């Protein structure tokens, strides 16, 4: 079966692999579409320290059930459209004991610590398979990245009386904007790109700020009557946006960081104390976040066609990653089609 590999910095290839075996308590999936995410791009650029090369990327999965092993629950059927929870959990670490399995100390994500789904067929434990309802095959590949943003909003405990600033309007930020809006919050979207900000308005943001051309602090003061946003969700992973979150959040506000900053950051820690801030991390997503995204997408209110920047064949993966690396600001999701 046709399989994509990243073999080194700026190096990809398509190889042939044998079909996986169907084992007890596993489901054989025919892959429809898989999304390229930021971790895949960092692997391609040689910037992902968690990856051992060569690796098959891909954990944003749309698939159809091809066959099942013994011991399957009745909710699964041949031909059913599904997605996959791509994380593992050990069951014994502190995170797992606290039922926050998304943050398992020993997690291995598909396409990162183990081979991923950019191949024609994969076999996975049935416990990781999630029915996708009446979504299209392409929409199924948007569930996992959107769920990461949904989870960040849950971590921030957003309610309808909150003003929420989301920094970064890529796919993860899009998920955070949608979920915060669904909870009734007033949402402020911040990004460098006007096209992404226009989409942010379409999916629920009441206010947008272009941090390249506008003074963020002054605009926030206008929008919030000088108080600052109650919640800041950082979905970029850079030193300036990490600092922006602390500087701009209101007194007694909540900050949730999703993105990894690539360098050490020097904070004015007095703001942590003076503002009595809650500063939280957000990693991956829980099964209920996946379900919430599926419920939302099945309402058919999301302009998913605008979130899919490009659909490619496996042989085009290397060129697509190169183009994305050269112009990262213009991409929401690139989907690889195995249909």
Per-residue pLDDT of the chain (339 residues), as tens digits, is 999 999 999 999 999 999 998 888 899 999 999 999 989 999 999 988 889 899 999 999 999 999 998 878 888 999 999 999 999 999 999 999 999 999 999 999 999 999 999 999 999 999 999 999 999 999 999 999 999 999 999 999 999 999 999 999 999 999 999 999 999 999 999 999 999 999 999 999 999 999 999 999 999 999 999 999 999 999 999 999 999 999 999 999 999 999 888 889 999 899 999 999 999 999 999 999 999 999 999 999 999 999 999 999 999 999 999 999 998 777 889 999 999
Residue 92: how many CB atoms within 10 A of its CB? 11
At residue 34's C-alpha, the angle toward residues 205 and 45, to 5°, is: 85
Which residues are bridge partners to 166 per DSSP?
Answer: 189, 233
CA distance readout (Å), 78 to 27, 65, 75, 148 = 10, 5, 10, 28
What is the pTM for the complete model shown?
A: 0.96
Q: Is the peptide bond before 54 cis (omega within 30 degrees of 0)?
A: yes
Q: Is 83 helix (H, G, I), strand (E, B) or coil?
A: strand
Tokens of 103: 């943050």
């Amino acid at each position: 079966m046709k399989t994509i590999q990243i073999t080194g910095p700026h190096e990809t290839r398509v190889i042939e692999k044998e079909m996986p075996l169907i084992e007890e308590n596993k489901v054989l999936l025919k892959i429809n579409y898989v999304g390229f995410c930021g971790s895949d791009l960092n692997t391609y650029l040689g910037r992902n320290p968690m990856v051992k090369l060569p690796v098959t990327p891909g954990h944003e999965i749309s698939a159809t059930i091809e066959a099942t092993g013994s011991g399957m629950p009745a909710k699964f059927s041949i031909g059913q459209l599904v997605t996959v929870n791509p994380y593992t959990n050990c069951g014994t670490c502190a995170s797992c004991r606290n039922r926050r399995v998304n943050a398992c100390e020993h997690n291995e994500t598909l396409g990162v610590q183990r081979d991923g789904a950019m191949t024609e067929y994969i076999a996975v434990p049935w416990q990781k398979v999630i029915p996708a309802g009446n979504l299209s095959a392409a929409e199924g590949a948007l569930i996992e990245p959107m769920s990461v943003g949904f989870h960040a909003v849950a971590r921030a405990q957003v309610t309808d009386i909150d003003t929420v600033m989301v920094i970064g309007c890529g796919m993860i930020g899009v998920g955070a904007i949608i979920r915060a809006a669904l909870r009734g919050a007033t949402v402020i979207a911040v990004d460098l790109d006007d096209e992404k900000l226009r989409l942010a308005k379409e999916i629920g943001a009441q206010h947008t700020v272009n941090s390249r051309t506008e003074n963020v602090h002054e605009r926030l003061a206008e929008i919030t009557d000088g108080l600052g946003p109650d919640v800041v969700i950082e979905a970029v992973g850079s030193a300036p946006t990490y600092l922006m979150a602390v500087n701009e959040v209101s007194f007694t506000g909540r900050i949730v960081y999703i993105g990894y900053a690539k360098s050490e950051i020097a904070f004015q820690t007095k703001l942590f104390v003076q503002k009595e801030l809650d500063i939280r991390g957000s990693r991956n997503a829980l099964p209920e976040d996946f379900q919430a995204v599926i419920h939302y997408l099945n309402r058919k209110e999301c302009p998913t066609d605008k979130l899919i920047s490009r659909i490619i064949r496996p042989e085009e993966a290397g060129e697509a990653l190169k183009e994305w690396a050269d112009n990262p600001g213009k991409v929401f999701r690139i989907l690889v089609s195995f249909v």
